[in-house]
Structure 1
Amino acid sequence: MPSLGEIAGAAMPSIQAKLAVTSGPINVVAKITAEPAHADTVADLLKQVALVANSDKEPQTLTYRISRGISEQNNRFVVYEEYAAPEALSAHLASPQFQALSAFPNVENAELDIYKEY
């Protein structure tokens, strides 16, 4: 199975291009599907990312909320993120905690949608 980083890496040029042509607040909806046997590990890694994102270490991260599927969908995660500016998302993606999540190899699928706040 690919890592989250491998899946996201293919989309990174598109993400960087979107961030380069916008300013102001942005919202991100990330959807991650872990291999069922590794869902708890992904949940723990996401919690570590959230601890940093919701701290003073990422002051321009306004919201970082994780939701997990129920019952047979408990290997699916949705992360809702709000950033004051595109640069804040770039800083978030470079954090050691996000890099650890990105390196985890047992991810079935990941999607990242970026929106400009109006």
Structure 2
Amino acid sequence: MRNDSHINELCKKWKEILKLNEWDIRVDLGRPDELSEQDREGECFIELAKGEAHICLLDPKIPYNFTFPYDIEKVLVHELLHLSFAFFEPKDDPLRHDLWERLIEQSAKTLVRLQRSIDET
């Protein structure tokens, strides 16, 4: 895993937008075999009591064979949203957990799309 200044700047920007400034967040980039499951684009390890998180994202400089284009900003926002919704994670109900993940994914896509339209003006 390695750290990247561009990703750190994106994280700083989105921490402000999502009102997560009180969190201590480290973001690293890596290969699929460095994530806990190889079909993931990113993952977030949260220490709620400490207000700390470690986000691991796939390195965009490495080629991948995903069905959809890899949007590192969207994946970062998705992982950051896990911090906001961590208290509500349904851990013992797979269906509710899948729906919770879908809500986070759709929210990340919408927020990134909206922010990009704002940045273009």
Question: What TM-score results when the alignment is normalised by the length of structure 2?
Answer: 0.31
Q: Quick one: higher RCO (CA 8 Å, sep 6+), 1 or 2?
A: 1
More strand by share: 1
